[in-house]
Amino acid sequence: MSHLKVALVGECMVELQATSVPNQYTQTFGGDTFNTAVYLRRVLTPAQAEISYITAVGTDPLSQQMLARFNECNLDTSLVTQNPNKFPGLYAINLDDKGERSFSYWRSDAAARYRFVGMSLEQLVALWQQFDIVYFSGISLAILPSETRDTFVQSLAQASKQVKVVFDLNYRPRLWESKELAKAYFEQIAQFAQVLFCSNDEDALLYDKEIVPAAQPYCLSAFQASEPSLLEQAIAVVSQARAQQADVITALQALEQQTHRHLVFKQRDTVQFYPTGIDYAQLLDKGVVTSYEYQALVVNKPQQVMTYSFTPLEKVVDTTAAGDSFAAGIIGAFLVLGTSAQQAAKLAQQVAQQVICHKGAIIPAEYTHPFAS
């Protein structure tokens, strides 16, 4: 296994946690992609991956503390910029008696919002191409100025030909001008993301549907929209293989491996992996492959849908960063270590269940360990 470079992009904020004493809070730092970066660093060894966090902070004392916290968490901070005219965002967490959290935010003019302002498409593509994997979220996208978003997404689409792009919807309605705009961006990203995370409630909220357990995701059609172009690639690969008298099966399997993508759909007690890939039945119908080649390809094709079920914890302390730590587990196990989807889901759930047994977004390091251990 080679040493991989992983970038996580977004916003870290000053976090205020409510205490048992009325009107008293403890102060730390958190934010969806920062939380994921910290847990990803913990579940992987330095030999397995370098974890970089890409954001912007200010030059004020809290920003300096935040930057120090990044370094304490063993994150590469070489791409964290400091804006002398801006400050970090802030949020407060309040918990109910079941550990469910509610948030209050002060972030509308935070430094992270301006991290990519003024960067050209070419500069952004070059930035992403330094990495093997780039992870960002709907929050990372929503906080950007509207004129920056299009260039940001276009650059990731271009870079996705060489870089594995991972996207977590993390849909927060109050951050978007409209639901329609958010959905348009999500559906665009769904066509090139290597792994797309979506929860049942986000899916229902975006598509004005009821939350139905175990239902097929409404966003699945957007995720599968890239399949027609993949079919065209497959036909071209077969044509080239035959012209060079190369093995068609090997050529198509290489393309499958290169382009295989997953929608990871999260529900309360299940995780489903929906893969997209080459439609070999259409290749057979079109006479592109022989019956023998079709059978050999289908036998080795990854399972169409993988479902992993787990037992929810009876006692939950704080659900903050549950999804963020789960994403870290999937990225670490599935994309970096190359485990099966089933094993990745199991490991990711173990990480998330540790996190929700403690207060705050970032729990003490002794409760999370590298997967190798």
Active-site residue list? 324
**C-alpha span between 6 and 296 (Å, rounded):** 34
Instruction: State the DSSP string of 219-254.
Output: THHHHGGGHHHHHHHHHHHHHHHHHTT--HHHHHHH
In sequence order, the 6+-apart residues with CB closer than 8 A to the CB of 154 are 121
**C-alpha span between 222 and 208 (Å, rounded):** 15
**C-alpha span between 35 and 49 (Å, rounded):** 17
Using CA atoms, how far residue 163 sits from 125, 150, 176, 254, in Å, is 10, 19, 27, 16
Instruction: State the DSSP string of 6-75.
Output: EEEES--EEEEEE-SSTT-EEEEEE-HHHHHHHHHHHHS-TTTEEEEEE-EE-SSHHHHHHHHHHHHTT-
**C-alpha span between 266 and 256 (Å, rounded):** 25
The owner of tokens 């989807």 is 341
Would you say 175 and 143 are in contact if contact means Cβ atoms under 8 Å apart? yes
The owner of tokens 């006692």 is 315
Helix axes 341-355, 32-43, angle to 10 degrees: 110
Looking at the chain, the number of H-run helices and the number of E-run strands are 14, 14
